[in-house]
Amino acid sequence: MTFGEKLAKAVEAHGPLCVGIDPHPSLLEAWGLSPTAEGLERFALTAVEAFGGQVAMVKPQAAFFEAHGSRGVAVLERVIAELRDSGTLVLVDAKRGDIGSTMAAYAQAYLGDGSPLAGDAVTVSPYLGFGSLQPALDTARATGRGVFVLALTSNPEGAQVQRAVAPDGRTTAQTIIDFASARNSGISPCGDVGLVVGATIGETDVDLSGFNGPILAPGFGAQGGSTADLKRLFGPDMRNVFPTSSRDVLKHGPDVSSLVSAVRRVQESL
């Protein structure tokens, strides 16, 4: 199946929620775990047990695994494998972006068949030019996977680049959206190029009406994003939006049943 077909099937079964696995040291401490590779493994696999088969998509944040070196990366590989075995889509939040052969290597690592780091999709950064993402776009399409391109992020510094206006009058964010829209054109039920648009950005000031792809909306829950914010930001485009909740769910661990109950409450709110 295409990535869009996989997403449609997952949403039909579980709704649009994406849950993050962010093994932040403060969360490990709150769960009574040590900030070590062993604590990371217990945290991450408990989350896998709670979320696998319960939500449309799970988003492990790669940086928190990489911080533990090779042992942490090995845990990430296991998380990806076990989630995929459970039938849950995995979006690896790695935000990779480079040019030429280096981007091609990133694409093989996170989107290539046979790679232990390849989930079902990966986040990428387009700020070396949208065309620099071509190896990732091509690999994703060839393997039935997806990419989520940073468009409008919630950090205040992002506006310096994302809301900058080009000579043609479009903002950088709008240019990225337009490139992604063109890539997805004519694909049903939706394209394999998604966008990342923060749920706490205030106003989008962009045109998403022609975008035929999934929109990841991080910041829902603990970071302040609400269902009202989602409706205000995305309006009729809500059908393609995947709100992401991480800390707001993870704070209910380490008890698996409490984590599952937290997920169900968020799903019902959506």
* Neighbouring residues of 228: CB distance < 8 A, sequence distance ≥ 6: none
Residues near 114 by Cβ (< 8 Å), separated by ≥ 6?
Answer: none
Please give the C-alpha separations between residue 97 and each of 82, 130, 131, 158, 210, in angstroms, as whole numbers: 26, 10, 11, 16, 25
- Catalytic residue check, 95: yes
> Torsion angle of alpha carbons 49, 199, 159, 208, nearest 10°?
110
Check residue 130 and report its DSSP letter: G
**Residue 170: burial class (beta carbons within 10 Å; 0-12, 13-18, 19+):** middle
The amino acid sitting at 227 is T
User: Choosing from 6, 59, 95, 231, which is the catalytic residue?
Assistant: 95
Which structure tokens are listed for 30?
A: 């709150």
Token representation of residue 215: 């929109």
Residue pair 141/186 in contact by the 8 Å Cβ criterion? no
Side chain identity at residue 94, one-letter code: A
Please list the active-site residues: 95
